[in-house]
Amino acid sequence: MTASIAIPSSFSGYRKYDSFNLFVFSRSEDGKGHFLLRKKHLTSDFQHLRGKFANNEPSVILALAKKFVRHTGGLFCSENFKYFGKDNPVLIDSGSVIIENCPTSQRPSKAPTPAVDDISRLVCESPYFFQDASNTATYFIEIPMLDLERLEEFAESRELSHRFRYFTMEEMLGPKSEQISRKLKEILSENFELHAYMDKYITNNDVIENNESYALICCEMFLKSYMLHGLHYSFFKKHGESWRFYKAYERELPSEEDLKKLKGIIIPGSSFSAYNANVDWYQGLFELIRKVHDYHPKINLLGICFGSQIIAQALGGKVERMPRDFINGGEILKIKPEFYELPFVKSSKLDAAKQLVIAQAHNDHIVELPAAAKLYASSENTNVEIYTINNNILGIQGHPDYNEVMIVRSNYRKNNLNVRNYNRYEEESIKSKFPVGLTQEEMLKICYHFLKQQQL
């Protein structure tokens, strides 16, 4: 039945998520998917992970990962699977098993904890993702088949009162579903498209039809976590798409064969300066940008903050240090009317009368654009905010990928602050730095429709 289900057009559209689901599953020897559900107490029902997302975290993937670790004690970190796998588990080394109690405090740590980072990785690398006309993002991660008795024994020894059990789709909805939470049964029985998706791709392991490829090129060597992946994949990655993470600072860049398959590339922000002649790995990045410009007009190249600067520098423009302090807040964009006539902007269906405000975090700026570039937006402090080159290169000086929380927490970490009441600090900082709220959704729509556009 499910093999004939068409993939809804809503799978590929932009969505601003306000809630999420996470289903963890393992495959049996015949390839069938079995859903791993959890209950906290003996008297409670088995359930999956679900939650709300209201911009209280930088991305929905990070919010999901934190809540999952908080609910499972970090037991499902990949490093633990060798101890609890059903096939050939190794002797449990209690001191090496990763256990975490992710705090509910909003105070940012220097980096995500190992378990939070690992769950973020598993979500980012999974090809399975469901969205429909609602604003709920449903993620799926596959893990090895676990020995649940062994897992629960260990959990009890560490005073973690979790209970786990595998269920098939039929068991979750069939006559013996009395152990399943009412909410989960409602979700599966009322959302036909989600039910069909889970049957098709998780239970039956059908081949994924979509095979579009994208690249995220990291230029920040100090980034040791999956924060950047989670940030951009939350906004842009869809069902079945292949996204690869490259480390430009390790001279890891798309090959010529990779470029033939890519539909889009993102070069995000970095603490480096595009004009620094002493950065030896820039040469390869410059060559990549020029290749896309000269020989690959079907690749959509998006530069954000540093990314927009390095693209301009590589193609004959000029970047310099700003004659003022680091900009860290929101900027109102002064947009030229013709910007709204660009095809990808039209697809975004923006209200041209609405003021656009974008997050900023930079102290370099573009002072001279490449000859072929067209300037579409500026701001009070930055002349070049948005530009295009040909139809396939878009540079944005600000951070459409940052919300208010991301800016405030980055500033907190950068300055090694330590305030007693962090939640109050964050609330007051947002009011101070963003007297006019960000229009992040509108900016992300622009980026999304640019990346997904089909170049002729």
pTM here is 0.94
- Rounded to whole angstroms, how far apart are CA atoms 70 and 140? 18
Whether 42 is covered by a domain: the verdict is yes
Domain end point (choices 170, 203, 236): 203
Domain end point (choices 174, 203, 232): 203
Residues 357 and 278 in one domain: yes
pLDDT at 407: 94
Domain end point (choices 169, 203, 237): 203
Tokens 């930079």 sit at which residue? Answer: 362
Total of domains in the chain: 2
Q: Of 327, 326, 219, 213, nearest to 268 (Cα)?
A: 219
| CATH number of residue 76's parent domain | 3.90.79
- The torsion angles phi and psi of 8, rounded to 5 degrees, stand at -65, 150
Residues 147 and 279 in one domain: no
pLDDT at 174: 86
How remote is the C-alpha of 56 from its chain's centroid? 15
Residues 40 and 153 in one domain: yes
pLDDT at 3: 41
**pLDDT, tens digit (0-9, with 9 covering 90-100), for 77-117:** 999 999 999 988 899 988 899 998 776 777 877 778 899 99
Helices (H), 95-226: 114-125, 148-157, 169-173, 182-190, 192-197
Which residues have CB under 8 Å from 246's CB, separation 6+? Answer: 215, 216, 217, 218, 252, 253, 254
Q: Of 144, 141, 146, 174, nearest to 49 (Cα)?
A: 141
The SS3 call for residue 386 is strand
Given a cut of 50, the residues of the chain with pLDDT beneath it are 1-5
Whether 105 is covered by a domain: the verdict is yes
Residues 174 and 235 in one domain: no
Residues 238 and 187 in one domain: no
Q: Which domain holds residue 26?
A: 2-203
Residues 26 and 137 in one domain: yes
Whether 8 is covered by a domain: the verdict is yes
Residues 248 and 385 in one domain: yes
Whether 423 is covered by a domain: the verdict is no
